[in-house]
Structure 1
Amino acid sequence: MSIKATHPPDTPLYPIREVSRLTGVNSVTLRAWERRYGLIRPKRTPKGHRLYAQDDITRIERILQWLNRGVPVSQVVDLLDQPETVEAPTPNAGDWISQRQQLQLAIEALDLPRLEALYYQSLALYPLSTAVSELWQPVILALEAKWTIQPDILARRTLEAFLRSQVGTRLHYANQATRGPLLLLTAMPDDQGPLWVLMVALMASEQGYRIQMFDHTLPLEALPQAVTRLHASMVLLTSGQRESDSYIHTALPNAAEALSVPLGICGEVARLRDSELRDSPVHTLGDELPQAIARLRPLLRESGVL
């Protein structure tokens, strides 16, 4: 591994906040990459403040490319100096499986200190989209499949309470810091709880949207008033379930027609019902949450909201 710790004196240098803005990687993650894995080595001022050269920024972009290909951060250091054409290791060669097992065990054991540690570790080491797509979403899918056969209401409610607290705190401060479009976010009737709502809220907030989140299902007939009174730019519904035929075929399209803003769905329901809603006024955004959130801005532009 060859990481340059110093740069020529005439090299432009950037503070961590500017590098975070340019790369989309928050400062906590940049520090974790440096301290824990030695992925980057910025220059330091006499007072210890980090300064990054363009080479460092390029390296950060390479790190993101590998992470977005599903490579665990622990393996990235060995790949950074390889040619761009090198194939990403297969998932079985990485430690995502181990991380998912650890997270699932902590949830099922109701081990809140361990759960908290894994939560903060995942958000510190990875961009949020990677943490959600590679760790949290697969674990929630696995748990929901297991709970369908062997219900564990205590584990579910404990996880919901934990995420509600963590995500709620982030949303509170994020909503104050941005003037982005407001998303009205709620679950569909057959969903078992707010897990998908919380994951979607976390992803959307990170992308600069303000979030009005409802733990419990908001009736479809209440959506027009909610949009008007909350000045929402879009309604986004989530579910890990298939939902009933009458809801999908009739109630949901009728609700979309009655709204002055777009109505979209994401989560497992979007994958399961995509073909049935393709020609309806309901926008199916997919079950992969990072990609679903990435589709929001073009949709809002197309609808004239932005």
Structure 2
Amino acid sequence: MAPMSLKATHPPDTPLYPIREVSRLTGVNSVTLRAWERRYGLIRPQRTPKGHRLYAQDDITRIERILQWLNRGVPVSQVADLLDQPETIETPTPDAGDWASQRLQLQAIIEALDLAKLEAFYHQSLALYPLSVAINELWQPVILTLEAKWAVQADQLVRRTLEAFLRSQVGIRLHYANQATRGPLILLNAMPDDPGPLWVLMSALMASEQGYRVQMLDHSLPLEDLPQAVARLHSSMVLLSSGQRESDSYINQALPKAAEALNVPIGVCGEVARLRENDLRDGPVHMLGDDLPQAIARLRPLLRESGVL
């Protein structure tokens, strides 16, 4: 099949961008851009004679509109019907059915210990959606649901199997991402009452996506060891995460004391940030919230204030 002419869609003098540049401009990785094109036909880039994708400004604008719909909670399967509507169209009520069914499917796969399906679901979710959407709409809600269920009736086999799966997948991603970036190093640690590293793993995934190098410790390091850890690992920040409330003495005394002893910022994210928001609001510990994409987005101004960036 002959290559498509660039003149067929855009004037000859229209600037065209390779996929790597479009990914940088929009924040959508190239795997996701290709999935939107192949699976849903949401974007239609031009091709060079050798088959390389080239995107015009119209394509970039379209990608930004896709992101707007996704961030409003519209599943990718429903975005195509909305893209060509006038920009003034009232935001429709998202059909939660698709997200709800995907969450139920993911939960069922996890509880069935079907690792082959879990791996396929994991990679598909990260391919079809920006990571922030995948975490907000799929992984974080399912982990919250499972942890609430496990609080009533523990299922150590399912928990540990999910942790092992995510530790492996996220670990691979961190290994290559850490080699590819020179961003600040975040020391990411679990809090002592968290029964496992699920929140740390999700936080690590999000931080890595935002260009940080991540040193992940999925077992709680004693607070008194943090200054040595920061010095020896050359960390720019400590980020603590937990799905639990944590003890009063830890939150009200030990954690603020540890923050005062550090020469880098210390932040808290995950469910603990929601549960303990009032306790730590005015102290030296930075409360980043339970919305993990937003929490990681708050790191940049924090690091800028501390002189790291």
**Partner residue, 2:194:** 191
Name the CA distance, whole Å, in 2 between partners of 1:233 and 1:74: 40
5+ residue gaps, structure 2 = 1-6
**Partner residue, 1:44:** 47
Aligned mate of 2:23, from 16, 20, 25: 20
**Partner residue, 2:163:** 160
**Partner residue, 2:70:** 67
**Partner residue, 1:202:** 205
Deviation of the 1:5 alpha carbon: 7.4
- Map of 1:1-306 to 2, 5 A cutoff? 6-306=9-309
Name the CA distance, whole Å, in 2 between partners of 1:124 and 1:28: 6
In the alignment, residue 103 of structure 1 is paired with which amino acid? L
Name the CA distance, whole Å, in 1 between partners of 2:206 and 2:256: 25
Deviation of the 1:91 alpha carbon: 4.2
In the alignment, residue 92 of structure 2 is paired with which amino acid? P
**Partner residue, 2:4:** none
In the alignment, residue 175 of structure 2 is paired with which amino acid? H
Name the CA distance, whole Å, in 2 between partners of 1:185 and 1:276: 21
In the alignment, residue 279 of structure 1 is paired with which amino acid? D
SS in 2 for 1:78: helix
In the alignment, residue 70 of structure 1 is paired with which amino acid? G
Name the CA distance, whole Å, in 1 between partners of 2:139 and 2:8: 34
CA RMSD of superposed structures (Å): 1.3
TM-score, length-scaled by structure 1: 0.97
Q: What is the number of residues matched between the two proteins?
A: 303
SS in 1 for 2:81: coil
SS in 1 for 2:268: strand
Deviation of the 1:160 alpha carbon: 0.4
Name the CA distance, whole Å, in 1 between partners of 2:76 and 2:205: 21
Name the CA distance, whole Å, in 2 between partners of 1:17 and 1:281: 40
Summarize the Cα distance change of 1:5–1:246 in structure 2 as closer, same or farther, 3 Å threshold.
Answer: farther
In the alignment, residue 180 of structure 1 is paired with which amino acid? G
Deviation of the 1:93 alpha carbon: 4.1
Deviation of the 1:14 alpha carbon: 1.2
In the alignment, residue 303 of structure 2 is paired with which amino acid? L
Deviation of the 1:249 alpha carbon: 0.5
Summarize the Cα distance change of 1:33–1:5 in structure 2 as closer, same or farther, 3 Å threshold.
Answer: farther
2:74 and 2:95 in contact (8 A); partners too: no
SS in 1 for 2:28: coil
Deviation of the 1:218 alpha carbon: 0.5
SS in 1 for 2:289: coil
Name the CA distance, whole Å, in 1 between partners of 2:126 and 2:68: 17
What percent identity do the matched residue pairs reach? 85
TM superposition outliers: structure 1 runs of 4+ over 3 Å: 91-94
